[in-house]
Amino acid sequence: MSVERNVDEIIRRMTLEDKIAYCTGADIWQSKSMPKYGIPAFKMSDGPNGLRCQEAEADMIGVHDSLPATCFPTAVTVGATWDTELYTREGEAIGKEAHAAGVTVVLGPGCNIKRNPLCGRNFEYLSEDPAHAGEMAASFIRGLQSTGAAASLKHFAMNNQEYKRMMGDCQADERAIREIYLAPFETAVKKGKPRTVMCSYNKINGVHSSDSKWLLTDVLRREWGFDGMVVTDWGALNDRIAAFKAGCDLNMPGGAKFMEKAALKAVKDGTLSEADIDASVRRILTIALSSQRQSRGEVDFEAHHALALEIARRGRGTAEKRRRLAGQRDRYGYLWPYGQRVSLSGGRLQPHKPHKAYKPHRRSPGRSLLPLL
């Protein structure tokens, strides 16, 4: 039986209560399994510059240990290479490591615009240029999904500052939104064809991303042709009823029953259509039933580490050339404390367990490998 026919049959058998419950995850990183319907769980994992897969105790900030994975340079470095083929290779490598770890959805890439240099998450984004960010993100998605894993393009949309990112209201006119902030996502969706998209925490002109029908249905699905699953950023769901209507499918993380009773009541009193819930269940089920079924394969970590070094050298080399063209001389020294202590993954997000890591400085003070820009 095809996945589509199987999905339709399962939805036909599910109770309304189970359909609503299925649209919230089971725990921090997994969707729900429902054995009575033949529904398997699938696992999600950070992230764009290396897998952070926790098998035992799990958390959102990296307190508990994770499986060894290649530590790739963050997006700020790979973006500086301007090399889409290189980023495709990184995506493919991360997809292979996800496959080996039993991960179906990799939470990345991020292609928000670097609007302000003070954004604490700029390391995770590719560029301040919408065209460049979109083309690079699409190349990563193609590489990762060629392995059978699913990419989750994030953070949709206008997640351009870290300060109050969970409660901020990003206000702009529609032209600025489309030409600057949505443009990289449009390119990534149309050219990369990600199987999932992650909605952001923030409001856009007063409406939470998770509640925005204009954003998730009118633009993402109807205009751009996206047919995959929308998952919330972890804790980003604002209103379950509004989110169903908007086309926001999977609420993560799981472990709670936020507004499930309210959604059930809304269907019964006619203020929420069961068809909207069915549409979300269908998109989640499609990921679950088409996820990787093969046994875990072997990973060539040494080859992946060599690729990570190539990306780091290429990214640094491009930055140095740009400084020389601008008439700036190269200077090197300590950016304390990072000349002595390695900070992985931007120092904040996805602190995964690297298969191998180099310290940026191995000799005397003043000989750090970190450029002073």
> Which residues partner with 196 through β-bridges?
152, 229
What's the confidence (pLDDT) of residue 231?
Answer: 98
Q: Give the residue from 290, 55, 2, 28 showing the smallest Cα distance to 149.
A: 290
Report, as an integer, the average pLDDT of 190-203.
Answer: 98
Please state the three-class secondary structure of the chain as a single string. Answer: CCHHHHHHHHHHHCCHHHHHHHCECCCCCECCCEHHHCECCCEEEECCCCCECCCCCCCCCCCCCCCEECCCCCHHHHHHHCCHHHHHHHHHHHHHHHHHHCCCEEECCECCCCCCCCCCCHHHCCCCCHHHHHHHHHHHHHHHHCCCCEEEEEEECCCCCCCCCCCCEECCCHHHHHHHHCHHHHHHHHHHCCCEEEECCCEECCEEHHHCHHHHHHHHHHHCCCCCEEEECCCCCCCHHHHHHHCCCEECCCCCCCCHHHHHHHHHCCCCCHHHHHHHHHHHHHHHHCCCCCCCCCCCHHHHHHHHHHHHHHHHHHHHHHHHHCCCCCCECCCCCCCCCCCCHHHCCCCCEECCCCCCCCCCCCCCCCECC
Please check whether residue 121 is in contact with residue 171, taking contact to mean a CB–CB distance below 8 angstroms: no
Report, as an integer, the average pLDDT of 191-213.
Answer: 98
What's the confidence (pLDDT) of residue 164?
Answer: 84
What's the confidence (pLDDT) of residue 73?
Answer: 92
Please check whether residue 196 is in contact with residue 231, taking contact to mean a CB–CB distance below 8 angstroms: yes
Please state the three-class secondary structure of 93-113 as a single string. Answer: HHHHHHHHHCCCEEECCECCC
Its pTM stands at: 0.89
What's the confidence (pLDDT) of residue 204?
Answer: 97
- pLDDT(358) > 70: no
pLDDT digit string (tens) for 166-191?
Answer: 889 999 999 999 999 999 999 999 99
Please give the Cα distance from 308 to 286 (Å, whole number): 33
Per-residue pLDDT band for 283 (boundaries 50, 70, 90) equals: very high
Which tokens hold the place of 265?
A: 């009541």
Per-residue pLDDT band for 142 (boundaries 50, 70, 90) equals: very high
pLDDT digit string (tens) for 46-79?
Answer: 888 899 887 766 666 566 677 889 999 999 999 9
- pLDDT(226) > 80: yes
Q: State the burial class of residue 128 (Cβ atoms within 10 Å of its Cβ: 0-12, 13-18, 19+).
A: middle
φ, ψ of residue 191 in degrees (nearest 5): -95, -30
What's the confidence (pLDDT) of residue 67?
Answer: 86
What's the confidence (pLDDT) of residue 372?
Answer: 35
CATH numbers and ranges of domains, the chain: 3-289 (3.20.20.300)
What's the confidence (pLDDT) of residue 363?
Answer: 47
In this structure, how many other beta carbons lie within 10 angstroms of the beta carbon of residue 120? 14
Which residues carry out catalysis? 233
Which CA distances in Å does 39 have to 3, 18, 177, 355? 12, 12, 38, 33
What's the confidence (pLDDT) of residue 323?
Answer: 57
pLDDT digit string (tens) for 252-267?
Answer: 999 999 999 999 999 9
pLDDT digit string (tens) for 302-328?
Answer: 999 999 999 999 998 766 665 566 666
Q: How many CA atoms lie within 13 A of 123 on its CB side?
A: 14
Which tokens hold the place of 96?
A: 């292979």
Which tokens hold the place of 153?
A: 């393009």
Which tokens hold the place of 345?
A: 């993954």
What's the confidence (pLDDT) of residue 371?
Answer: 40
Q: State the burial class of residue 147 (Cβ atoms within 10 Å of its Cβ: 0-12, 13-18, 19+).
A: buried
* Average pLDDT across the chain, whole number: 87
What's the confidence (pLDDT) of residue 72?
Answer: 94
What's the confidence (pLDDT) of residue 167?
Answer: 87
